[in-house]
Amino acid sequence: MTAQTPTAGLPRTGGVATVTDETFAAEVLAAGVPVLVEFTASWCPPCRMIAPVLAEIAREEAHRLKVVELDVDENPRTTAAYGVLSMPTLMVFRAGEPVRSMIGARPKRRLMAEIADVL
């Protein structure tokens, strides 16, 4: 999947790109803007709850933040590399490094407040 097909793989999140173990380095670590990564799973109810929030943020903040999702069941290498044990885990990466990590679904206002200082 490429940046040109942001909804490929999981149409439930319109505007949120899907990354994999293979594309994580290029799409997240090498990105020129901060990247909010949702570590998610299809069986996770809180992940489904936060999906519309992330899609809205992806649309509204596209000029300064990239939003992507990574399915933990299909991408065990990246999941293990960042010690992800609970879903959803939200991680902000800047300049190739994780700078913020949060666990669990939350409203848009709270999420934006929690990441404001790393954007």
For the annotated catalytic residues, the residue numbers are 44, 47
Contact predicate 69/19, CB 8 Å = yes
CA distance 108 to 58: 11
- For the packed helices 45-60 and 108-115, what is the interaxial angle rounded to 10 degrees? 70
Place of tokens 């954007």: 119
